[in-house]
Structure formats: C-alpha cells, structure tokens
C-alpha cells in the first residue's frame, strides 16, 4: 500500500485527456512544475514516456493511447463511488424486505405501498410476517423491521415512532358497546386472545388478579386480523391497539369500548442495521414508513406518562 498513490490515476487521466502538462495542472488546481514531476513519476511507474514532444506540442505514445479509455473509466467510477448521490439512490431499482409486526401490518401496508409506488417507483417491497428476534437484520435478510420491538441489540438501530393504547373490540350489538363495563363485567365476558403461540395469560390477567378476579379465554387466534374478523360474528371480545386497528375495525363495523384496567402502552418502533443508516434508498424507505405511521394520531404526552406509570 505504500506504493499505491491514487492521485497518480487522477493526474494520468488529466494528462492523457489534455496532452498538456499546463492544462492538466490547471484542471487539478496544482502548479505546472508539480504536474511535471508527477509526469516523471508516471513514466517511471509505467515504464513508458506517455507524452513525447512533437514540435511545440506533446503527443501520446501508443501505450498512452491504450491506457486513455481504461483510466478515464476508473476515475469516473471512483468519483461515482465517493460522491454522495442525494436524490439518485432512492429512485433506482431495488428490492427491500420489510418485516412487520402483526398489529402494524394492516395499518402500514396499504399506505406504504401507495407511497412507494408514487415516490420510489423503482423500488419493490416484500412484506414479511414478524418472527422471534434473530439475526436477520444483521445478516441482511431483512432491511427494516416495524412493530413493537423490545430488544436492545447493540448492532441494531431502534427508532420509536409512536405510542398507541389498548381498547376492547366487539361486535356492533355487544352490550359493552352501549355502556362501559365494570371490572367484574369485563372479567365475566367471553374473551378471545391474540397469541401466535396459543398463550392465554397476559397483562390483562395480571391486572385482573390485582382485583381478585380471573377471566376465561375461550379461544386464541394467531393474529389481530383473525381476531377482529372473529368477533364480528360472536359474542367474544378482544383487546386491540386503538390506532393501529382503526382501519380494520371501521371496515368490519366493529364496536369499541374502554377496558376498565390500566394496561402497558404499546409502542411502535422501527429497527435496522447501522450499515444502512446512510444509504439513500434505505433512508428514503424509512422516511416513508415514518411518515405513514406518524400520521397516526398519538396519545397526549400526559396520557403516555399516566399509562406508563400505571403499567
């Protein structure tokens, strides 16, 4: 590496393009004497005179003519690699893999794909279901993850987007739609739990236990969408994130009610590997995800503090 001087490549390109020590020096903002010394060094390195005098001009040798195109291409590639291309990178054809948490998918997918189609027409998005924490971001198998991200992997950048709150969802004719239930009434209702693993116990049960009560979970389903479809035709109730589930609830005509228990605040975040932080295309995608999800109204700050304290 001690013998490698890439400035020689720039000088050679200028000399071969201008056939003039003076013009090459002017192009590279250096002195004629310095460029003359560089030409001497290039002649030694390449073992060829490169430019020889013909009357009052310098003309290229056959070796110089042979090198001219390749040197120009290398210099241009170097400039391309080392120049920030703001506004060019995001629009080029690329594929991104976005892993989305179940509760976020319905809220994110439609608006995000519409925004990508409009603003990043060269980009293809592959949305994957969330999985347990693994090395997908680090290994490059996933570009962005969006959801309730709890890990603090030092190799992962996590950006908080917004906080939601839990509400109850039920069919339009359910009694809870007309009157907020008491803790006793809520505990005695028929419950549906969202759990990818079939687990029936959660924060709701912990809060009910503080009141000396238990509930009966009649069934579990693996995702929020299935849960919302299920309650439309049954007397079951299920918890749902208020903002994230709003489009689906509206489409299904579901009723909502306040759960009479303080529950942990669900926080939606976005994660990626730091090697992608400065990438223009990746940054453009993150900006769209942020815009789409932050258009979701957030809780007032005092409500967030109260919810976090009660949780």
pLDDT value for 1? 41
Q: Between residues 4 and 224, which one has the greater pLDDT?
A: 224
Q: Residue 237 pLDDT more than 60?
A: yes
Superfamily for the 96-163+267-295 domain: Periplasmic binding protein-like II (3.40.190.10)
Q: What is the pLDDT of residues 108-118, one digit of tens each?
A: 999 999 999 99
Closest Cα partner for 148 from 292, 304, 267? Answer: 267
- Do 96-163+267-295 and 166-258 fold alike per CATH? yes
Q: Residue 204 pLDDT more than 90?
A: yes
Position 213 confidence tier, pLDDT thresholds 50, 70, 90: very high
Closest Cα partner for 137 from 81, 97, 180, 195? Answer: 97
Q: So where are the chain's domains? A: 7-82, 96-163+267-295, 166-258
Is the CATH code 2.30.40.10 the one for domain 7-82? Answer: no
pLDDT value for 106? 82
Q: Residue 84 pLDDT more than 80?
A: no
Q: Give the mean model confidence (pLDDT) for residues 125-143.
A: 82
Report how far residue 294's alpha carbon sits from residue 20's, in angstroms, rounded to the nearest whole number.
58
Q: What is the pLDDT of residues 8-18, one digit of tens each?
A: 999 999 999 89
C-alpha to C-alpha distances, 274 to 24, 280, 282, nearest whole angstrom: 40, 13, 11
Q: Which two tokens stand for residue 105?
A: 């998918």
Closest Cα partner for 167 from 237, 72, 106? Answer: 237
Q: What is the pLDDT of residues 135-191, one digit of tens each?
A: 788 888 899 999 987 665 677 889 999 999 999 999 999 999 998 999 999 999 999
Label the pairing between strands 123-129 and 166-170. Answer: unpaired
Evaluate if pTM is beyond 0.75: no
CATH numeric code, 166-258: 3.40.190.10
Q: Is the CB of residue 39 less than 8 Å from the CB of residue 51? A: yes
């Amino acid at each position: 590496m001690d013998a490698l001087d890439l400035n020689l490549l720039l000088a050679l390109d200028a000399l071969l393009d201008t056939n003039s020590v003076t013009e090459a020096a002017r192009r590279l903002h250096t002195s004629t004497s310095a460029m003359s010394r560089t030409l001497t060094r290039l002649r030694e390195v390449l073992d060829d005179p490169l430019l020889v005098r013909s009357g009052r001009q310098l003309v290229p040798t056959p070796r110089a003519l042979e090198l001219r195109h390749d040197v120009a291409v290398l210099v241009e590639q170097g400039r391309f690699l080392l120049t920030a291309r703001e506004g060019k990178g995001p629009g080029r054809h690329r594929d991104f893999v976005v892993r989305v948490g179940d509760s976020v998918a319905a809220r994110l997918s439609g608006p995000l794909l519409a925004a990508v189609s409009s603003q990043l027409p060269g980009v293809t998005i592959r949305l994957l279901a969330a999985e347990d924490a693994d090395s997908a971001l680090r290994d490059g198998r996933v570009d962005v993850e969006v959801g309730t991200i709890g890990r603090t992997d030092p190799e992962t950048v996590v950006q908080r987007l917004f906080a939601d709150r839990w509400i109850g969802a039920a069919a339009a004719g359910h009694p809870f739609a007309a009157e907020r239930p008491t803790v006793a009434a809520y505990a005695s209702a028929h419950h549906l739990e969202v759990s990818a693993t079939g687990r029936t116990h959660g924060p709701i049960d912990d809060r009910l236990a503080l009141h000396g009560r238990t509930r009966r979970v009649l069934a579990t389903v693996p995702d929020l969408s299935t849960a919302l479809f299920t309650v439309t035709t049954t007397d079951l109730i299920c918890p749902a994130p208020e903002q994230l589930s709003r489009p689906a609830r509206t489409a299904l005509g579901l009723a909502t009610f306040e759960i009479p228990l303080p529950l942990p605040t669900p926080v939606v975040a976005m994660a990626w590997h730091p090697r992608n932080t400065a990438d223009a295309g990746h940054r453009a995608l993150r900006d769209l995800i942020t815009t789409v999800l932050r258009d979701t109204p957030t809780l007032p700050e005092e409500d967030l503090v109260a919810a976090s304290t009660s949780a």
